[in-house]
Amino acid sequence: MTLFSRYMFRQVTNAFLVMLLTLTAIVWLATALKELDLITSQGQGLVLFFQMTMLSLPSLMTLIAPNAVLMAALYTLDRMNGDSEIIVMTAAGATVWRLCSSLIALAAIVSVVILLVNVLLNPACMRALRDFITQVRADLISQVLQPGRFSSPESGLTFHIRDRSQSGELLGLLVQDERDSKQVMSYLAERGRILTNDDGNYLVMLDGYVHRYNAEDKDKAVQIIAFDQNMLDISEFAPKDSSGKELRPKERSMGGLIYPPDDDKIAQNNYGLLRAELHERLSTPLYPLVFIFVAIALMGQARTTRENRWGQILTAFGLAIGLRVAGLTANNLVVLNAWAVVLVYAIPVGAILIAAWVAQVRMSPELRSKLNFELKLQLKNIRFWAGRGMQAE
């Protein structure tokens, strides 16, 4: 790598890292604010909050990295052209590929990192995040027993506590059990705590009363029974994880996507979801290269410092968005039709080849003049035959 290439690589890498970290921090912050409910209403600690939000970072970075590559390339090329660095190197005989080899090298490195994250790190993080979510949902203390709130884990059953002590003891406990229409039970206790063992979860109530009456009795006399200690089985009230043990496509390893178990419900009912996830992981790493070649095709050539390049920058962004949307659309088609796999790879690979051809044409004045001449000749022929047709009429 030449001295200029190393210099340009440092410039574009620094810009890439700044943009990647900035965009990731903004998106992560927006995502983390949505999860504040874990602390404010579900009683979870800061450690669990940061663990759950940090596990989403790899997937966020794989989505943001191609865009950061594009923005870093456009910024670097525009700045270096404004400082006449590209103009000087072009005047010295450097081709566009020699000037932009550092950009292609950075895009290749980012592509390899995205591929490794998609194949190895992302599925593991998704499985760990699933375990944390299951843990939170199964925690009755944080999910149901909230100070000052009436919570009903199921119809006819209501929990309420006045407060929770620092040791985790429940204060001012009320349990209203109306599940049995014939017999209504109300538990009032000064203190309570959750007891968990191998048999399940139990609510132990201390120093309280049970108000009980039979709804079928005409007089509906209330029986009040004082107790020092009473126990209520609450295992069945804990929220269930509706997804069961079935791993979602994003949580599966590559082997689990390619060779799902014979009794796998997703593979039996909709194998297209697994196919789409597999090819999404393999095709996403191509987009940093796509965006780099688009940037090179539009801004890799030397231009006068008086020339406004905002049109080219906006065109690059528009093409990048269009290509990414086309790739996502093709990936959605893979769910329905296996033949759409060809489109998933044809779109980025075709875009790379076309952008490289455009950059080569714009670099060669002779080839560009020849193409312009041929286009003008074809336009003249079209006008000639159109004129003849109009004349004949």
Measured over the CA atoms of residue 154, residue 239, residue 237 and residue 50, the dihedral's sign is negative
What φ, ψ does residue 300 adopt, rounded to 5°? -80, -10
pTM score, two decimals? 0.69
Q: If you average pLDDT over residues 108-115, what whole number do you get?
A: 95
Lowest mean pLDDT across 9-18, 142-151, 245-254: 142-151
For residue 386, the model assigns a pLDDT of: 45
For residue 364, the model assigns a pLDDT of: 65
Q: What long-range pairs does 240-243 form, CB within 8 A, spacing at least 24?
A: 240/137, 241/133, 241/134, 241/137, 241/138
Share of the chain above pLDDT 70, in %: 77
How much of the chain is in helix, strand and coil states, percent to nearest 5?
Answer: 65, 15, 20
Residues 189, 207 contacting (CB under 8 angstroms): yes
Burial status of residue 376 (CB atoms within 10 A of its CB: 0-12, 13-18, 19 or more): exposed
The predicted-structure confidence for 285-299, as pLDDT tens digits, reads as follows 999 999 999 999 998
What φ, ψ does residue 313 adopt, rounded to 5°? -65, -45
- Maximal CA-CA distance, the chain: 109
H or E segment and range at residue 203: strand 200-214
The predicted-structure confidence for 197-251, as pLDDT tens digits, reads as follows 766 677 888 899 988 877 677 666 788 888 888 887 766 555 444 444 578 888 8
pLDDT at 351 over 90: yes
H or E segment and range at residue 303: none
pLDDT at 144 over 70: no
Q: In angstroms, rounded to a whole number, what is the distance separating the alpha carbons of residues 253 and 123?
A: 6
**To 10 degrees, the CA torsion angle through 97, 99, 101, 104?**
-90
The predicted-structure confidence for 354-377, as pLDDT tens digits, reads as follows 999 998 887 765 455 555 555 555
Domain ranges of the chain: 3-137+245-259+268-382, 144-237
For residue 28, give both structure tokens: 């992560």
For residue 222, give both structure tokens: 């209330």
Q: What long-range pairs does 95-99 form, CB within 8 A, spacing at least 24?
A: 95/363, 96/296, 96/300, 96/301, 96/359, 96/360, 96/362, 96/363, 97/359, 98/2, 98/5, 99/4, 99/8, 99/300
DSSP calls for 87-140: HHHHHTT--HHHHSHHHHHHHHHHHHHHHHIIIIIHHHHHHHHHHHHHHHHH-H
Residues 24, 65 contacting (CB under 8 angstroms): no
121-151: buried (b, 16+ CB within 10 Å) or exposed (e) per residue?
bbbebbbebbebeeebbebbbbbbbbeeeee
For residue 14, the model assigns a pLDDT of: 94
